[in-house]
Structure 1
Amino acid sequence: MDGVTTAGVRATARIEARDDGRGGTSLPVLDGQGPLAPRRVRGGGAEARVMLVGAMSGPLGGDHLAVEARVGPGARLRVGSAAATIALPGQAKGEARYDVRLDVADGGELWWLPEQLISAGGSELSVSARADLRGGARLVLREEQVLGRAGEEPGRLTSRLTVRRDGRPLLDQELACGPGAPGGWDGPAVLGGHRALGQLIVVRPEFERELPAARPLGEHAALTPLAGPAVLVTALAPDALLLRRVLDNALGDLT
């Protein structure tokens, strides 16, 4: 089903990580088509590292892109991207979609750390990320979104993040920004005029014994414990550089 249609590009990248039985992690599945090209890069210790490389512009209007990653028991996987993803208007009408599906088995560990998603003027993108965890799975997941390039109004961006552990929800939230979004998205109760927003979720079995307390992380960021062995960091910033600094500092304190 992957390929180019009159409605846009359809493409899926798939990554599967397994314990190789020798103290490391193998990647029996590493496949991508169209604008999604996963590449293994040098890792360290038991961890396998994958970089998502953009092979073409996108997502454009009408495109439907997806990334699926599975981590087996005892495997450790870190996924990043070589550059920011830029949502652009395309010749095909309709919104673009970008779906991320993550599955981490009991004893597996996944660090999902892509670069920013930039919503360029005139674009229309719906992005969703869903992580399904089992038992003692570990997860570090970072999302960063930038509304518009320099001096540019943003496109329409709808984002949903869902995390489940053993079928029970740890987090399920959605945000819509840009032209056509529900009124108030840029007001003081939501973004307050900021153009970079991000969140970091950390799931660790150790949090069942001692969960970090809720606290502010500066003027426009906060740490919130979740109903499970997990915490959520949310942050706003005037630009992507300051946003990354806040999230990196929080990650360093939590891991």
Structure 2
Amino acid sequence: MLTSTERTARTRIRVSPADTGRCLVRSTVTLSDPTASSLRPVLVDHDLTGARISLVPEGALLLAGDRVEVDIAVDAGARLDVVEPGGTVAFDMRGGRARWDVRITLGRGAVLTWAGEPFVVAAGAAVQRSTQARIRDGAVLALRESLVLGRHGEEPGRVHQTTEVLSASGPVLVEDLTIDALTARALLGGHRVMSSVLLVGAPPPEHAEHRYDLEGGAVLWRRLGVQAHEADLGPVWQAARRAAGGV
């Protein structure tokens, strides 16, 4: 439930194939009030069946009271590649909180690749993040993300992170993590960076390290590190993106 102090910014993106010319790309940004910071979708390129979009932050993200919502729909036979120009920092919220919710719907034979940049949870931040994906038969999803607990030399803030990926045949990945200064040591073994690459619906590349085989042939690669370079999954992401048919 929203409160009077929350500022909601909802970004909607929908990509549909076209019979001629370029695919149809529809996007909107809706703000609950003019002070809300948002993610603005910038069309980088598109062709007959697919598009490439950059999610550009407008305003400071992420502050207490921010509620960022991203709804992405890729219709049957279409492709969308999402990139981010830089990472996101959840700043000290001084007792407040923020939300970051992503909802993904993929039609039959659709493809989505999302090259997420680091999400930093600074000391004093309190963030709830959720990702929900619904995938039809023949669709392909490739997601990259990196969670960084605290900036250099500081304690982590608190993040409650949930992920639910459902295919036509059932759950692929269901995860619920709460990480803060008290639980990070037990859950992550003293590491502060957790990088992940998820590939659903495409034959996985031959990268055996840091790999978890999921339901329905999906694969999750996850790597921990004290510093960002120690948790890097760059080669895995490049291979997963190629497997997904991304550009």
What is the TM-score of this pair, normalised by structure 1?
0.83
C-alpha distance after superposition, 1:118-177 (max 9, x if no partner): 001111001011111000001001121101111111111111111100161100012211
Q: Structure 1 residues 213, 83: CA separation in 2 closer, same or farther (over 3 Å shift)?
A: closer
What SS does the aligned partner of 1:122 have?
Answer: coil
Q: Distance in 2 between matches of 1:88 and 1:64?
A: 14
Q: Structure 1 residues 20, 12: CA separation in 2 closer, same or farther (over 3 Å shift)?
A: same
* 2:214 matches 1:226: yes
Q: Distance in 2 between matches of 1:31 and 1:61?
A: 20
Does the Cα contact within 8 Å between 1:49 and 1:78 map onto a contact in 2? yes
What SS does the aligned partner of 1:152 have?
Answer: coil
* 1:65 aligned residue: 68
Structure 1, unpaired ranges of 5+: none
Q: Distance in 2 between matches of 1:223 and 1:32?
A: 38
* 1:160 aligned residue: 162
Structure 2, unpaired ranges of 5+: 32-36
Which amino acid is the alignment partner of residue 120 of structure 1? Answer: A
Does the Cα contact within 8 Å between 2:93 and 2:124 map onto a contact in 1? no
C-alpha distance after superposition, 1:151-208 (max 9, x if no partner): 11111111111110016110001221114x5x4x313xx3111111021110125x4x
Fraction of identical pairs, as percent: 31
* 2:229 aligned residue: 241
C-alpha distance after superposition, 1:15-53 (max 9, x if no partner): 001112237532023435432211111357843111111
* 1:35 aligned residue: 38
Aligned length: 236
C-alpha distance after superposition, 1:76-97 (max 9, x if no partner): 1011212111111346x53211
Q: Distance in 1 between matches of 2:85 and 2:239?
A: 25
Q: Structure 1 residues 238, 22: CA separation in 2 closer, same or farther (over 3 Å shift)?
A: farther
- The correspondence for 1:251, drawn from 210, 231, 237, is 237
Does the Cα contact within 8 Å between 1:23 and 1:46 map onto a contact in 2? no
* 2:16 matches 1:18: yes
TM-aligned CA deviation for residue 241 of structure 1: 3.2
- The correspondence for 2:179, drawn from 177, 189, 196, is 177
Q: Structure 1 residues 21, 243: CA separation in 2 closer, same or farther (over 3 Å shift)?
A: farther
* 2:124 matches 1:122: yes
Q: Structure 1 residues 20, 241: CA separation in 2 closer, same or farther (over 3 Å shift)?
A: farther
* 2:174 matches 1:186: no
Q: Distance in 2 between matches of 1:212 and 1:88?
A: 36
* 2:100 matches 1:98: yes
RMSD of Structure 2 on Structure 1 (CA): 2.4
Which amino acid is the alignment partner of residue 11 of structure 1? Answer: A
Q: Distance in 2 between matches of 1:38 and 1:50?
A: 6
Which is further off, 169-178 or 15-24?
15-24
* Runs of 4+ deviating beyond 4 Å: 43-46, 211-214
Q: Distance in 2 between matches of 1:146 and 1:45?
A: 37
* 2:34 aligned residue: none
* 1:148 aligned residue: 150
What SS does the aligned partner of 1:61 have?
Answer: coil
Which amino acid is the alignment partner of residue 21 of structure 1? Answer: D
Q: Structure 1 residues 42, 241: CA separation in 2 closer, same or farther (over 3 Å shift)?
A: farther
Q: Distance in 1 between matches of 2:50 and 2:17?
A: 10
Q: Distance in 1 between matches of 2:20 and 2:135?
A: 24
